[in-house]
Structure 1
């Protein structure tokens, strides 16, 4: 199950690599009135994407309470979860962490990450190299993680760039799914607000464009690793994973 919050925040590179691995993505679009499933019966994994709303802004995004319930259900059932940017913030918040507006303004562009000790044995982020660049575009971030969460990656300007909760739930603050085209679109729409607080949206686009080959390699591999967790967990739980031919069209 993939939850997309806005028109221009689809699964991108992550979805591409998961489909190439043969997984069947069912993308849900609650922002245009689609009802989210009531529970996770029969699902093999949950991918929650990014978006502009704050993770507590149920007025702007009235589907967020359902997303929080699905995340709690998934973590309780040890169903694989990957939360990206807003999705990672919802994961942290839903399980007792705290998400705040960044007082220093948004973090945008290609930013180097640092490995933390727990990353060494992590099945999804263990192969991410020290100093790997990641595409960023976020105004909010986790200030505290839920009890028992394991920090995996950090950065100079954002302490919790990746974390794991339990054995099969991951949240990342950055955008492993996007490349320079998406960042350019966000710079067009959000650039004036970024400039107003001293940011450089044009520089962000340029940095992501320059880093794109490495972004494809590192975060494509991360997506594949999460897909492996999905398949192995489904086999262990006796869930049938729908398989599609590589290159098959993503469900709309």
Structure 2
């Protein structure tokens, strides 16, 4: 497989691409990482095989305080129009939803925080990224907002009791994950320290260092193969992505 180039947008320094970047690189991707407010124009996508957008502490529509959010949404909209593979995490997922015609709002039940599970929907069974996942994969949750209405072209892939729209696909290859898979224990502990009100909603013990170490080892076993499949998707010609839900063998 030829090496693929991916543009990675980090809206905030507190939410780096982290282990996800390591997994993508190990699978054969070359990452160009940019951090807000330096957001490339949509025309920059001509040079890339995929787009990755990470999380951050701001809201997806907080344009007054962060005017560059409109640039990220424009980038995501262009990627969807081009049928370029997208992987959008947490805030990135909300930005993708907003860019494609969905709606984002605060979580009705309050922040969703902790080492939790999501449940695959039946529609994910033949999806290139989600099909091989366990029925209830482990994920790390740390968010105040959620996607309350999916974009018109979206396919729901996973849900949780607190937030229905945990993972979805827009079009044929733009993926949104409301949860985190890229974190390290230190990242989560930093979030808990800087956002104590949200962290207090986690169940007892879920943000303890020892628990986070064990949890992240299991997280890698589940989600590193998904990163590998995303690299393969990015390397697959557009005509083949349109014609089948299966990916070529590595």
- Aligned length, in residue pairs: 232
For the structure 1 residues 140 and 13, does the alpha-carbon distance in structure 2 shift closer, same or farther, using more than 3 Å as the test? same
Greater share of residues in strand = 2
Q: Secondary structure at the match of 1:143?
A: strand
In 1, are the aligned partners of 2:107 and 2:163 still within 8 Å (CA)?
no
Task: List aligned pairs for 1:1-252, cutoff 5 A.
Answer: 1-31=7-37, 34-39=38-43, 40-191=45-196, 193-194=197-198, 199-200=201-202, 203-206=205-208, 207-233=211-237
In 2, are the aligned partners of 1:187 and 1:202 still within 8 Å (CA)?
no
Question: For residue 244 of structure 2, what is the aligned residue in structure 1?
Answer: none
In 1, are the aligned partners of 2:28 and 2:231 still within 8 Å (CA)?
no
Structure 2 spans left out of the alignment, 5+ residues: 1-6, 242-250
In 2, are the aligned partners of 1:179 and 1:215 still within 8 Å (CA)?
no
TM-score (norm 2): 0.87
Higher RCO (CA < 8 A, seq sep 6+): 1
Structure 1 position 204, deviation (Å): 3.4
Q: Secondary structure at the match of 1:151?
A: strand
Instruction: Determine the C-alpha separation between the residues in 1 that align with 2:89 and 2:134.
Output: 19
Q: Secondary structure at the match of 1:160?
A: coil
Instruction: Determine the C-alpha separation between the residues in 2 that align with 1:130 and 1:35.
Output: 36
Structure 1 position 111, deviation (Å): 0.8
Instruction: Determine the C-alpha separation between the residues in 1 that align with 2:239 and 2:125.
Output: 25
Using the TM superposition, name which of 226-235 and 84-93 deviates more.
226-235
For the aligned residue pairs, the C-alpha RMSD in angstroms reads 1.9
For the structure 1 residues 234 and 182, does the alpha-carbon distance in structure 2 shift closer, same or farther, using more than 3 Å as the test? farther
Q: Secondary structure at the match of 2:236?
A: helix
TM-score (norm 1): 0.86
